[in-house]
Amino acid sequence: MRFLTVLGARPQFVKAAPLSAALRKRGHEIIVHTGQHYDAGMSDVFFSELGIPHPDHNLGIGSGPQGAQTGQMLAAIEEVLVTERPDVVVVLGDTNSTLAGALAAAKLQIPVAHVEAGLRSFNRSMPEETNRVMTDHLSDWLFAPSGVSEKQLAAEGITRGVFVVGDIMLDAVNQQRARAEHTSHMPGALGLARGTYVLATIHRAENTNDRERLFAILTALEQLDQTVLLPLHPRTRDKLATFDLAIPARILAIDPVGYLDMLALLSSAACTVTDSGGVQKEAYYVGTPCVTLRNETEWVETIEAGWNVLCTPNASALKEAVARMISPRPAQIPLYGHGNTAEQIAEILCAA
């Protein structure tokens, strides 16, 4: 069986590591990298660290306005599909690369498999929400991480081809956590001790495209009692320059880190403050409480389990949320499967 996997952004590289291994045990995989994340710290390091095979096609699309970027990806992916003629196109998550891959395949009548289907924030102002809704309605196989996702698909009339398989990022965490503990020098290399800092990640458009909101987030982080470590996403770095905003002195900003260092930093943090869907889940898997700087989350199970809380970018609210989350947490329970998602996906696709 010929699989063609479309990748483009950091979270997709993490998910691709276990999935690629499972697919290649059963058939031939072609990897297409759109170039959505092209910074070495957001792309190359993940391929080398996680052992992801080198992309067969690197489209080099780069950044740009939402519509223009997606359109360029669509045209370029279509050319690859015409040449490669895979049996199935696999797309992951909710980025512009996800939607472009699904749309190009659907127009050529090539079946689409969507990994991480059925997630909904119900906030249509988020580009990711548009991407995930449209991708789900284009897909033939919909691999949902939880029963909640399955129900949300059913509410939109999607019931065929839906499989609850758990979260593929749990596969990645399980496979790489011990390695991270043994090979990463974080957080000691930064002069930080375990449990003494808050790990922050900020990158979503809703938090970075508005100057006042981004300033409010930085101000709130600066006023936390703990040291704040901020691996700086390229989008956030660019917006800081555009808005002429400086990172407060009490925030330790560093360049983006690879997956192993990120796992080590997350595992050792007292708490994480983030707007990333992936970090919300990874924090739960490694036992680190999470504060999400958004008005909603697709990963509602982490909220219900008591390990995640939504918070506005307000200094007093954030300080109170972090203090509350650092207090003892409930026992962890399996929320998104047991770490065998990639194998399930590969078996289902090959049985079709």
Which strands, in side-by-side order, build the sheet including 88-92?
57-58, 28-33, 2-7, 88-92, 112-115, 141-144, 162-164
Cβ atoms 230, 269 nearer than 8 A: no
Question: In angstroms, rounded to a whole number, what is the distance separating the alpha carbons of residues 99 and 93?
Answer: 9
Question: Which is the catalytic residue, given 54, 203, 233, 338?
Answer: 203
Given a contact cutoff of 8 angstroms between Cβ atoms, the answer to whether 337 and 170 are in contact is: yes
Tokens of 227: 């040291």
Question: Could you give the residue ranges of the DSSP H alpha helices within 116-204?
Answer: 127-138, 147-155, 168-183
Positive or negative torsion for Cα 132, 137, 143, 146: positive
CB 159: neighbour CB atoms within 10 A? Answer: 10
Q: Residue for token digits 């691996």?
A: 231
Output the six-digit token pair for 50.
Answer: 């996680």
Q: Is 28 designated active site? A: no
Scored b (16 or more CB within 10 A) or e, 222-249 reads eebebbbbbbbbbbbbebbeeeeeebee
Question: What's the length of the chain?
Answer: 352
Cα distance between residue 352 and residue 336, in whole Å: 24
Which residues are paired to 229 by β-bridges?
A: 199, 252
Tokens representing 32 are 């297409």
Determine the Cα–Cα distance for residues 257 and 270; give it in Å rounded to an integer: 19
Please list the active-site residues: 203
